[in-house]
Chain A
């Protein structure tokens, strides 16, 4: 250390005060929402009703494959990227989570009358999947719709 300071006039990299590389975790995104308390619990309301409330009570909801921190499908990843890029608050739901969202894929497909994922809802209405969001994003319409 002393030799390095003598030679360069500076503290060796990584040793200066205020270096947070090793102890501050990277900023975590919000957790994904879960629709049910777990597969072992009997639901008292139909899953469809839970979806309905979820999309109506939250302004923007993205149903994606994988979590928002680690999407498992390229289209979901792209949708998350565009939403993050707009800097808006949104909720995400992992449709592959068989423990907490069991049965969601099939129920959501019939609820929204849309056969594929991801699906993005704004104000309770289906806006579309990756293609439609991309098209709105490229036209610069996405931001105003999400506000």
Chain B
């Protein structure tokens, strides 16, 4: 875990922080839960490659945003992936995305 504290080029301490900042500003999310689950995947083969050193490769995202209104699931996921393109280029390996609109989570 020694490499965990390394500062990234963009100045923010952790990938989770950067993900939060990027999604929050663009999606106007009312719920934004980010869970780092990299440790669950630490053993798998691809994670030995150098770009994945330092962990922060796998995250679970739960996002509720009005921007998802009228969008198919594929489009919602694409929106998230597009916003996080830099992270995916720089060692973020996989996301589990739960994308909902405020209406979808409203109690009926």
Given contacts A73-B44, A131-B96, contact A115 B73 (CB under 8 A): no
What band does the interface of chain B fall in when counting residues whose beta carbon is under 8 Å from A? Answer: 10 to 19
Q: Which residues of B contact A132 (CB under 8 A)?
A: 73-74, 77
A74 → B minimal CB distance (Å):
8
Q: How far is the CA of A131 from the CA of B76 in the complex (A)?
A: 12
Interface stretch, picked from A10-18, A26-34, A56-64, A122-130, is A122-130
Cross-chain pair count, CB within 8 angstroms: 35
Which chain A residue shows the least CB distance to B95? A116
**Are A128 and B74 in touch, CB under 8 angstroms?**
yes
Q: How far is the CA of A72 from the CA of B45 in the complex (A)?
A: 8
Q: Which residues of A contact B93 (CB under 8 A)?
A: 116
Asked whether any CB of chain A lies closer than 8 Å to the CB of B52, the reply is no
Which residues of B come within 8 Å of A, CB atoms? 41, 44-46, 73-74, 77-78, 81, 85, 88, 93-98
